[in-house]
Amino acid sequence: MSGVILNIVTVLVGTAIGLLFGNLITERFRQIAFLAIGACTIGFGVIMTVGGFGDLRATDVGTLALLVPVFSLVIGALLGEALRIEQRLESVGSWMQKRMQPRSQEVDASAAEAADQADTENTAATTAANATAPTDTASTTRRHAFIEGYMTATILFCVGAMTFLGSIQAGLGDPSVLYLKSLLDGISAVALACALGIGVGFSAVSILLIQGSLALLGMFFGDFFTPAIIASMDLVGGIMLIALGIEIIGIHKMKVANMLPALLVAMLFGWLLS
On whether residue 109 sits in a domain, the answer given is no
On whether residue 250 sits in a domain, the answer given is yes
- Per the structure, the complete domain to which residue 58 belongs is given by 2-103+138-273
* Sequence-distant (≥ 6) Cβ neighbours of residue 235 within 8 angstroms: 48, 49, 52, 53, 56, 65, 68, 69, 266
On whether residue 120 sits in a domain, the answer given is no
On whether residue 49 sits in a domain, the answer given is yes
pLDDT digits (tens, 9 = 90+) for 139-186: 666 667 788 888 888 888 887 667 876 788 788 787 877 887 898 889
Q: What whole-number percentage of the chain has pLDDT above 90? A: 21
On whether residue 150 sits in a domain, the answer given is yes
Q: Return the DSSP state at 24.
A: T
Read off the pLDDT band of 127 (50, 70, 90): very low
Q: Supply angle C-alpha 125, 130, 134, rounded to 5.
A: 145
Phi and psi for 253 in degrees, rounded to 5? -80, 110
Domain tally for the chain?
1
**pLDDT at residue 86 above 90?**
no
Residue 68: predicted pLDDT: 93
Q: What whole-number percentage of the chain has pLDDT above 70? A: 81
Residue 72: predicted pLDDT: 93
Amino acid, res. 42: I
On whether residue 148 sits in a domain, the answer given is yes
pLDDT digits (tens, 9 = 90+) for 175-228: 877 887 898 889 889 888 888 888 899 999 999 998 999 899 888 887 787 889
Cα distances from 185 to residues 8, 181, 215, 270, in angstroms, run 9, 6, 18, 28
On whether residue 152 sits in a domain, the answer given is yes
Residue 4: predicted pLDDT: 93
